[in-house]
Structure 1
């Protein structure tokens, strides 16, 4: 089995403020169900966390950019780490990720390389 990072992109930067409490509870319930299902299958390595939409990007030219000015749909908004037999299996697992219920959100599936 190989580890894969699910990189969540996009979304509303103020989702935690703009989402009514009942809707937030339902969303968090979906995330919990999804994480529990992955865990029960032995596929969850790390549930990850949402990331704040503000931050800094540093380039090798010493240029520092405020990433909050980037298009939100391209910003990384969170991550999880899962185990799968292949990229195809990891992709299938990612297809049921609750982040996909949100408009303008996507999941990028990336294999984590082991450096020995």
Structure 2
């Protein structure tokens, strides 16, 4: 597994006031567990984070606004950093992401180390 690069998957989804049922929640957790577990079993998982619903936006003029950023009808739900041979391989892994079943998107980005 030499020459692997790191990529960040950014998970976005359309916000909704509808609450999933307990059965839907269990099913979503199962799908996410399978998705993350498959990547982890391949030794490619670096980290993953689910974002909470509380947030603040700080603007360039130093004002603070409550809430999450919604752009293009979607909000950020979380991220994952993984190792892959190329952005194409990372994108193929991202095609299995459960957020896509919810009408969301996955953005795959290269990660540039901060030295």
Q: TM-score range by the shorter chain?
A: 0.7 to 0.9
The gaps in structure 1 that reach 5 residues or longer are: none
Aligned to 2:28: 27
Residues 39-58 of structure 1 show CA distances to partners (whole Å, capped at 9, x for unaligned) of 11111111x23212341121
Residue 79 of structure 1 pairs with residue 79 of structure 2? yes
Aligned to 1:106: 105
State the number of aligned residues.
112
Mapped to 2, the partners of 1:107 and 1:78 lie a distance apart of 10
Cα distance change of structure 1 residues 4 and 21 upon mapping to structure 2, 3 Å threshold: same
Higher strand share: 2
2:6 aligned residue (3, 6, 25): 3
Residues 68-116 of structure 1 show CA distances to partners (whole Å, capped at 9, x for unaligned) of 473583321111111111111111110111111102x111111110133
Higher helix share: 1
Query: How does the TM-score come out when normalised to structure 2?
Result: 0.83
Cα distance change of structure 1 residues 42 and 14 upon mapping to structure 2, 3 Å threshold: farther
CA RMSD after TM alignment: 2.1
Cα distance change of structure 1 residues 53 and 73 upon mapping to structure 2, 3 Å threshold: farther
The gaps in structure 2 that reach 5 residues or longer are: none
Query: How does the TM-score come out when normalised to structure 1?
Result: 0.82
Cα distance change of structure 1 residues 71 and 112 upon mapping to structure 2, 3 Å threshold: closer
